[in-house]
Amino acid sequence: MSQKPKLSTVAREAGVSTATASQVMRGAGRISDATRKKVLEAAHKLHYVPDGRAASMRSGVNREIGFVIHQIANPFNAEVISGVSDLLESEGFLVSVLDSRDDTERQRRNIQAFIRNARGGLLWVPADDTDDSTYDLLRTHGIPTVTFLRHLPSEPFDHVGIRDADATQTATTHLADLGHHHIAFLGGKSRSFVRTERIAGYTRVMQDRGLGDPIIWDTDDDKLAGMEAMVALRDAYPEVTALVCNGDMVAIGASLALQSMGLQPGKDISIVGFDDVQDAAVAIPPLTTMAVSPYQLGRKLAQIMLDRLEAPDTPATVTQVAATLVVRDTTGAPIRP
């Protein structure tokens, strides 16, 4: 195995001093374009990569940010990660993403790994039932932390979330205004803050409009689960003519199930999703949804982290993003018998 190249090796290859090579690699100093080019070409030739840990020790700034999230495969999360990564990397930060799968023990191992490797900050979707010791761990090590989606009002962390109850209230009102009386809530299994808020918004409209008892149908938030749940829900509640869904993937799955049964989404049963991932607009038929622009949400999350790193002693902030109803083809007036 060849020896890892050192900065002194790059300097020797470029015919400059180690100090000059260091300035070039850090983008510092008054270095001529010709000299800068020689050093960068030498670094490329030798496959030299600066030691980020050493640079962090010298500057006191770690340019790596950890992101602990759940279910990376979910398109919503993937788009959020893209937004986070694009903004932070444009500012010279590296983003490391770990999937805790909503498991508290796995989450703790993930956070410990980030602390052990001295990440400069943590973006974090707390798992359900996260215990106090995990919050104590973060406070003890003083790692700048921004929570996402699941708010912890008692903790001194910045937060970026969604006005979930308002969003599902808007979605349910849209369906009620179209004339639907039998509306179900489909998706999710946990009793997390996010899902609880979404169910609360749906339930509020059902009660205020006198639409009968809420129907809450638990299922995983993916397309296959949505398909299976739609079939089971229709068997159990054939009177249901509309769905408010916990996410776009379960909504698209429900839409596919209807089509497999010879029914038409938006006519036989109306469906409203949540998130407005890219798949929502290109689904057949295109999905009506509560849009939160996940890519832009990721950029917002990244900006809050940058603000925290820039001003570590300022009070924690809470940012709640409103969702917007985007009407497409999966909602319409119910068919009258």
CA dist., res. 128 & res. 193, Å (int) = 9
326: left (phi > 0), else alpha (psi -120 to 50), else beta? beta
Q: In whole angstroms, give the CA distance from residue 100 to residue 77.
A: 13
Whole-model pTM? 0.83
How do strand 288-291 and strand 324-326 relate by DSSP bridges? antiparallel
Report the C-alpha gap between 213 and 58 in whole angstroms.
62
Using CA atoms in the order 321, 325, 326, 331, what is the torsion angle rounded to 10 degrees? 150
3-state secondary structure of 314: coil
Cα separation, 145 vs 128, in Å, equals 17
Which two structure tokens, joined as six digits, stand for 9? Answer: 């090796």
Nearest partner of 122 among 141, 145, 97, judged by Cα: 145
What confidence tens digit (pLDDT) does each residue in 139-183 have? 888 889 999 999 887 878 999 999 999 999 999 999 999 999 999
CB 272 within 8 A of CB 175: yes
Length of the chain: 337
pLDDT digits (tens, 9 = 90+) for 232-284: 999 999 999 999 999 999 999 999 999 999 999 999 999 999 999 999 999 99
CA distance readout (Å), 247 to 97, 225, 263: 22, 12, 21
**Domains of the chain, each with CATH number or no CATH:** 7-50 (1.10.260.40), 61-161+294-321 (3.40.50.2300), 164-293 (3.40.50.2300)
